Amino acid sequence: MPETSSRTAGFTESVIRRMTRTALEAGAINLSQGFPDFDPPAELTAALARTAGAGPHQYAVTWGAANFRAALAAKQSRLMGIPVDGDKHITVTCGSTEAMMAAMMSVVNPGDGVIVFSPFYENYGADAILSGAEPVYVPLEPPEFSFDRDLLRRAFQGRSVSGTGPRPRALILCNPSNPSGKVFSREELLCIAELAEEFDAWVITDEVYEHIVYRPAEHVYFASLPGMAERTISCSSLSKTYSITGWRLGYTIACEEATGAIRKVHDFLTVGAAAPLMEAAVTALAFPDSYYSELLASYTAKRDLFLRCLDNAGLPYVKPRGAYYVLADISAFDRGDDTRFCEWLAREVKVAAVPGSSFFREPVNHLIRFHFAKKEATLLAAGERLSELKRIWKKRGYRAVPG
């Protein structure tokens, strides 16, 4: 039998998706894979019902239906504070996962470096490798998950913490961050912008949680910084904002030159996003500002509720400033293996989380990631189960926890 490609030899299965399967097998509350258990806005599902009958049911323009791109351009121009032209700057993709991959393949050459902050969403390193590039990891230091500016400069110079490597062609910026909930400050972003300009690098942003930023933190679109619109590829999706993760509607916003390259890659990757879903989603893109205020209020309440559950369970955490994830510290339970702990948690406590080691380049095995994009009743049920964690742990004969 012929050999398979060497570029995937170091890949493992998505730990997030594996934990979802474990949750299903164990009958656990799934706080691992980040999708809601509540419905999208009623206006959006009503639009989908209309589209199911009326169409369109055939291919849209490869890079996205014109009315969808126009509606998205109007919304993002207003929010980002920069002019976005649906014809020149937007490519609609099959989720932000494809948006990131298409962006990477469009601006990175084989042998280039790609800077990735650690912790990171698990796709980023794989995207770089599939593009023939080499990930260059820069650690974010808890609890603020701040970066060392000298280390970042060294990474841009091709002198990473692990030694000399390729000069980076791009940096990936997840803001707000999955899994840490970090929201980068304007000062931090300006530092990144200065280095990107100095070393003539692209910045590929993942901003899918742009509307889930908890006060007093504020989201700053990287492309809105002085001089950055021409070297930024902004990637996002409708999944989290409108609770439609299964619709797989993502997009890139970039200058004309980068957009031309992205559209070529996108065409050969997926041809195009689903036409009826784009048609229905135009409704959501026209929602008033009050929708986003109510969305934030809802997630703020969910966050605060779930953090109280973690307090009650005796699990320390880093309070997230954005997105809908929280990293909890399991050091008190000290098995030395966060993956085995998460398996045990799902099967014995009936709550599923993701081992933190899947998000870090560094040897971190004392953190696990929960998400709280769930109904209040679901979070309360998970909290009740987690409150039994100490008792179950002791009964099982593992090391006693404090208190």
Summarize the confidence of residues 273-278 as an average pLDDT: 98
Q: Residue 397: pLDDT above 70?
A: no
pLDDT of residue 231: 98
Asked if residue 317 has pLDDT above 60, the reply is: yes
Q: Are 284 and 43 in contact (CB under 8 A)?
A: yes
* Mean pLDDT confidence for 338-352: 93
Q: What is the pLDDT of residue 389?
A: 85
3-state class (DSSP) for residue 95: helix
Query: Which domains are present in the chain?
Result: 6-40+290-394 (3.90.1150.10), 42-287 (3.40.640.10)
**Distance between CA atoms of 173 and 192, rounded to whole angstroms?**
9
Question: Is the confidence at residue 228, as pLDDT, over 80?
Answer: yes
pLDDT for position 332: 84
CA distance 354 to 329: 12
Least-confidence region, from 82-96, 97-111, 385-399: 385-399
Confidence of residue 17 (pLDDT cuts 50, 70, 90): confident
CA quadruple 294, 297, 298, 299: dihedral positive or negative? positive
Confidence of residue 217 (pLDDT cuts 50, 70, 90): very high
Q: How confident is the model at residue 160 (pLDDT cuts 50, 70, 90)?
A: low
pLDDT higher than threshold 50 for residue 400: no
**Cβ distance 303 to 214 under 8 Å?**
yes
Strand partners, 284: none
Report field, pTM of the whole predicted structure over 0.85 = yes
Q: What is the pLDDT of residue 72?
A: 98
The answer to whether residues 212 and 295 touch, using CB atoms and an 8 Å cutoff, is yes
13 pLDDT more than 80: no
Q: How confident is the model at residue 14 (pLDDT cuts 50, 70, 90)?
A: confident
Joined together, the tokens standing for residue 206 give 């993942």
Cα–Cα nearest to 103, from 231, 208, 204, 207: 204
User: What pLDDT sits at residue 290?
Assistant: 97
pLDDT of residue 6: 78
pLDDT digits 0-9 by tens, 63-77: 999 999 999 999 999
Dihedral over Cα of 252, 254, 260, 262: its sign: negative
Contact 309, 386 (CB under 8 A): yes
The pLDDT confidence band at residue 402, using thresholds 50, 70 and 90, is: very low
- How far from 272 is each of 26, 63, 92, 298, CA to CA, in Å? 37, 6, 7, 33
Q: What is the mean pLDDT of the chain?
A: 93
Chain centroid, CA 77 distance in Å: 22
Listed residue (11, 76, 2, 67) closest to 229, CA to CA: 76
Mean pLDDT value across residues 107-129: 94
Q: Is residue 7 very low, low, confident or very high in pLDDT (cuts 50, 70, 90)?
A: confident
